[in-house]
Amino acid sequence: MIEHLARIVREDKISHIVLAGDQVVIPLLQEQMPPELIPMAEVMKLDIHAPDKDVLTATLATLRRQEGRTAVEKAAHLLQQYRGRQLAVVGPQETLDALVKGQVEELLISGGMEASQVRPEEESILPPETPNTTKAGAESSPLRQAPMPDLLVTTARQTGATVTIIEDPALLESVGGVGGFLRWRD
């Protein structure tokens, strides 16, 4: 069972595991877990006869707490890397430039970034697309504008970067709501 779990975690890029079960079984499972799975696992205490609804509710609450801790750690690590002039970039335009070059390994973007853009049309930039053309090949209109969060996420997906949404906008507020861990720096 542990080998199967390890394969699923690796193939599906799972970041959190929740264990719930008998007080005797959980330590046995933990002993058999490979070292890379141990930090991902959180033990949840539930009554053995708890209804499915309670199990789901408790599991979701545990995952939200874990994701919140992970978001705080990632944001702090991003800022530390950036301040140390290591493999990190922050700020909307700087991050987009790095994404376009294929430098970004993981994009961290605030879930509240779009809401913080008071005038998205003025803050928008041209998307990485070709102009709209007619069938005859003549240009019919200029490139359309898109909000910065859309550009960042779309470009991240196009370049194979992982996208992590940071739910707490305060974590990335000081850097414009966005940043990224870099694969390389030019």
CA angle in degrees (0–180, nearest 5) for 152-157-162? 90
Alpha carbons 72 and 69: distance in angstroms, whole number: 5
pLDDT of residue 173: 93
Both tokens assigned to 145: 């504008």
pLDDT of residue 137: 53
Alpha carbons 141 and 156: distance in angstroms, whole number: 26
Domains and CATH numbers, the chain: 2-74 (no CATH), 87-182 (3.30.1330.30)
**pLDDT digit string (tens) for the chain, length 186 residues:** 889 999 999 888 888 888 887 788 888 888 999 999 988 888 888 777 888 898 888 888 888 888 778 889 999 999 999 999 999 999 999 999 999 999 999 999 998 776 444 333 434 444 444 444 445 555 554 555 678 999 999 999 999 999 999 989 999 999 999 999 999 988
pLDDT of residue 175: 94
- For residue 114, which phi and psi values (nearest 5 degrees)? -65, -40
pLDDT of residue 114: 62
Alpha carbons 134 and 132: distance in angstroms, whole number: 7
Burial letters 133-144, b for 16+ CB under 10 A, else e:
eeeeeeeeeeee
